A and B are shown apart, each in its own frame.
Chain A
Amino acid sequence: MRKTKTKFDSISLSILWARLISIVDEAGTTLQRTSFSTVTRESNDFAVVLMDRDGRSIAQSSISVPSFLGVLPILTKALLKDYFSHDAWEEGDVVMTNDPWLCAGHKPDIGIVSPIFHQNELIGFIGTIAHSPDMGGVLWGAGSRDLYEEGLMVPPTKLMQAGVPNLTLFNILEANVRAPMQTIGDIKAQIAANDQGIRSLAKLMEENNLTDLQDLADVIIDNTEESMRKALAAAPDGTFTYSYDTDGDGKGNPCHFEIAIEIQGDEILVDYAGTSDAHPLSINAVLNYTFAYTAYPIKCAFNPEIPNNDGAFYPIKVIAPEGCLVNAQKPVPLGARNITGNMLHSVVFGALAKVIPNKIQADCGSACWCIVLNGTHHGNEFVEYFFLNGGYGARPQLDGPHCLSFPTNVANVPIEVLENDVPILVTQKALVNNSAGNGQYRGGLGQIFGFKNIGEKDLNISILAEKTVSNAKGLLGGEDGAQGKVEIIPHRDFPSKGLDKLKPGEELILTLPGGAGYGPPSKRDKTLIERDRLLKYID
């Protein structure tokens, strides 16, 4: 039996809560400072989460991208239920897995969970999830044909047992990935981040005479849940639907999304029934990932300021038919599931526009386009990732900014850095005039980006482009954004998603889609139109 509940007054709760978030932020800093993976480091493609002994999340690092919302507690709860029960954990253990159904939906995302002991009792867990530089398999992207082509899968396994490294697992990893030093370096950085968190938490427990985390977790989670429920309750009840089409492969095999959002009192249920089946390209999302990218726009619209912990997500339920595009099952390929996840906000906002039109934004020229180049440069093999974003959607009262990342948050790679790393010459980069969806508030402009292979050999290229046959949809009378385009010179067939080669002298020209407008163009302020003309955003 637990002893009587510890009570926390507003002030000590405020202090302890801020300290817990600071602890995961400190751990996140440690991870970021020492990781090799560009996306972990520069794009904050990681999360650190502190959990109670039942795997309920209490605090999540503040700068993480949304793809990890809610993922680590789901993973930890599954570990406790199906893999390592409470008494199977020892101090100094570290469990690793990249199972996409337990983690974040594709193999490069590695989850590392460490137990936290205090006075010899298991009091909680700290976990990190981060995008690893490589997990073997074909070049990352939409081009893999099944799950097995996407590299090594590690089921939940103790990477460290009571502080002793599992050399067998380290050796397997080393033998299966392209950049073993970097990949293992990043895993070690994740362990170091967990350790940093454990040390800081121990200090907090000692200073505040806490013996466990459960009472504190209860208050934090309950408070957050209550606040989220209050925000949902303020919106009118009803069921709101929206449907949406995206490129798929861009060659006649599109993806279709159907959504029904039911707001009932203080709860929200999102149903993706009617969404198309899993796609032959590796753009399928598992339900964990679908949840993260569905909960994210809901949180932004209803209660953007509440901290991320279990309580924020209890009132949100997401369902999708098994085997469909957003609830993929083994062994469909998942590598580039981000292109699908990054579309879900469009569907969610589309439906919510019918009930809370002042709290949402029009469709973005997302998803973020990804290019991976692989070849040799000065005799060394390289794998270079870079990202490009289209125009942002318009908001009530505000135009959409040009070329801004949403819903994920990844930076571009500077031209000068790119040219230093790989044998290409960037031939153009500019905003695309007239590409924004018009409206009372207009979308942001897309961009054009061209580059040429100036090396002597073919470059392997994995491309992930979207909205080349579909476009960003305007809301409440706003117009659609312009489509994107993938062109190669000299002209030949080139996929908008998948694998190909860029031959020496060939130039690839990418035109990113514009963001959509909000409200009817007839209501647009004249001075804003004049400004757009002066700055040549429009002709």
Chain B
Amino acid sequence: MEIARELRYDIYDLFLTMPEPLIARNLRYGVEERVTNKGKVLTEINQDDLNKIASQIEDENLESVGVCLLNSFANVSHEEKVGQFLQEKFPNLAVSLSSKIMPEIREYERSSATAMNAYVQPLTSSYLNKLKTELVKKGFGGKLNIMISSGRLTTIDEAIKTPIHLLESGPAGGSMAGVFYGKLFNEKNLLCFDMGGTTAKASLIHNGAPEITNHFEAARVKRFKKGSGLPVRIPVIDMIEIGAGGGSIARLNSLNLLTVGPESASSQPGPACYNLGGEYPTVTDADLVLGYLNADYFLGGTMQLNIEQARKAIDKHLAGPLGISIEEAAMGIHKIVNENMANAARVHILEKGMDPRHFSMIGFGGAGPVHAFGVAKLINSPNLYIPVGAGVASALGFLVSPIASEKIHSHISNLADMDWKEVNDFLDNMQSEGKRFLKKYGNKNSSIHIDRIVDMRYEGQGHEITIHLPEGPLSEKHLSEIKDRFQKEYTFKYNRSIEGIEIQTVTWRVQVKGEIPSIDVVQKDITYKNSTPLKGTRKVFFEETGYLDCPVYDRYNFEKNVTLLGPMIIEEKESTTVIGINSEVEVDTIGNIKIKLL
């Protein structure tokens, strides 16, 4: 666990530190045993070693243990024996087996995930149990499910066994809301853009489903540096995060270039315009100076912003030293934030093997709608959506996600040499296990949906492509169909396919899903105090035009099904939507804003 993968996450930083393993060296124990990569037992478990470990557990008074043995993805029996032994000896000990947490090849990543599960288990289980009992006490009679990182729901019991799957489940909810809106807007491919106070996040929805990755890191030493954390190979909705939010500070770097973030003024002292002593200009200050934000209607008017402080900070630290106007400097901050996000999004979309030009966008979060238009323009999005309830997107996502189970099995084999009987056996097992799980929680057979998926690659490559398997038992007959699906997907992603190289399967997954809950979104709680949607105009700075008198609309009173032309500002309590020139704006019957970029 301490040797890890031996890679540095920053090549030029001589003073980098690596993340500490979650379980210190004096609490890690070896046990003599050996299983081969084909699952054959070479050396039986040494009982003396186990006894020694048991006495150490007692001495150290340990609450939770993770077990990770070499090649356990190929044969779980040794890990299970160790688990059983410990459980019998210590009935209250939490035991995490790597073959249950992450049954995949690569021992370091598997032990890292197992350690993390063991690390959080005592805490989460007491918390979740308490939540359950307290809710029942308070008269809750419904089913209590919990969101997991891959955008599905699971039961409390499952969450207690593998709490590691709860990582990042909040942001996963946001993406699932994106999936829901995508259906509503009839957009199969979407880039979800969420910007808050310190960071901006983006995730992709492709063909109506969120993009999933199993490369996730927790506890990064440097928040925005890939590789500086502990790897957790569990399915997670793939998200990029950059250090640019409303509170991000703008500075001149050593090359005298304007840079924004990742340093943030956070909420204390906050941006200069909060008037709480913030010295440095932030993104929010720039947005206020440009007229995008309303000093009197920030957070629905609950917080007064001071535009003079914002101008002063920008002038002192940026405009003055650069010899440019305050507006030019403010526009620079706004644009650089958008550029950073667009650059990161483009690389991310390419990493997924897709074309960045075809993604419509959806904007969430407090600062998301302020910057979404600029980002959409930079990545050539055809449409941008600002849905209603953008501030509570995560919670909405929880309501529209299915309950599901995913079983994983590592089986590396060339297609040509596949033992189909073995494949059918493990697929069947995974399938019935999943079905049992769903039925136990009240799902009828008819509402259960099964997805069988395999990650494949050309022999010798390191990146896999995910293919859906044909239904029913598999045999040689399906070879050409599976090959075809792989080649097609490969060609779609890389514009070429390769002849003459064997195709290999790596990880097999069976997802068993219950029905996706359907909910109706209706606009109900809006009071029409004001009969005209147009609140007035104010001076707003756009790059193409400079300051102009820009109409400001009240989102709660917007006329439905009318098309208007940008530019305009649309205000609501939680956020402000900024719409530039060359755009058409439409609001649907529920209040979702659709912006066409012309």
Contact = CB atoms under 8 A, between A and B. Distances in A.
A36 B257 contact: no
B6 A403 contact: yes
Interface residues of A, number: 77
Contacts of B253: 305
A196 B26 CA distance: 50
B80 interface: no
A404 B12 CA distance: 14
A235 interface: no
Interface in B306-363: 322, 324, 328-329, 331-332, 335-336, 339-340, 343, 346-347, 350-351, 353
Contacts of A253: none
A19 interface: yes
A431 B339 contact: no
A357 B343 CA distance: 38
Contact of B14 (A17, A19, A66, A304): A304
B3 interface: yes
A187 interface: no
Interface in B80-113: 105-109
B7 A411 contact: yes
Contact of B3 (A36, A182, A402): A402
A509 B462 CA distance: 28
Given A14-B257, A447-B3, A398 B17 contact: yes
A494 to B, nearest CB: 24
A435 B47 CA distance: 31
Contact of B25 (A14, A18, A536): A536
A10 B11 contact: no
B106 A417 contact: yes
Chain B at the A interface: SS class? loop
A305 B254 contact: yes
A34 B340 CA distance: 25
B105 A414 contact: yes
Interface residues of B, number: 67
Interface stretch (B185-193, B292-300, B492-500): B492-500
A415 B111 CA distance: 13
B259 interface: yes
B161 to A, nearest CB: 24
Interface string A226-255: 010000000000000000000000000000
B7 A409 contact: yes
Nearest to A66: B11
Nearest to B462: A41
Contact of B258 (A11, A404, A534): A11
A214 interface: no
A181 interface: yes
A19 B341 CA distance: 11
B463 interface: yes
A9 interface: yes
A14 B458 CA distance: 40
A15 B494 contact: no
Interface string B238-274: 0000000000000011111111000000000000000
A33 B8 contact: no
Given A34-B494, A412-B5, A536-B26, A181 B501 contact: yes
B336 A14 contact: yes
Contact of B108 (A66, A398, A406, A414): A414
Contacts of B107: 414-416
B255 A416 contact: no
Interface string A340-361: 0000000000000000000111
B335 A22 contact: no
Contact of B105 (A181, A300, A417, A536): A417
A292 to B, nearest CB: 12
A305 B257 CA distance: 13
Contacts of B255: 223-224, 227, 306
B14 A401 contact: no
Given A188-B496, A224-B255, A409-B8, A420 B343 contact: no
A305 B142 CA distance: 55
A29 B351 contact: yes
Residue from B109, B331, B463 having most chain A Cβ neighbours under 10 A: B463
Given A33-B351, A411-B7, A415-B107, A11 B332 contact: yes
Nearest to A184: B498
B257 A403 contact: no
Interface in B479-507: 493-496, 498, 500-501
A361 B26 CA distance: 28
A149 to B, nearest CB: 25
Contact of A411 (B2, B5, B73, B412): B5
A132 to B, nearest CB: 13
Contact of A416 (B2, B37, B353, B498): B37
Interface in B11-55: 11-15, 17-18, 24-26, 34, 36-37, 42
The 9 A-B residue pairs whose C-beta atoms are closest, nearest first, are A11-B332, A22-B343, A304-B12, A14-B257, A535-B25, A411-B5, A419-B37, A414-B106, A389-B6
24 contacts: A9-B328, A10-B252, A11-B329, A15-B335, A15-B336, A19-B339, A19-B343, A22-B346, A22-B347, A30-B350, A34-B496, A36-B458, A66-B11, A304-B13, A398-B15, A405-B6, A410-B6, A412-B5, A414-B105, A414-B108, A416-B70, A416-B73, A417-B105, A535-B26
Given A30-B350, A402-B2, 6 more contacts: A10-B332, A18-B340, A41-B462, A42-B462, A196-B350, A535-B25
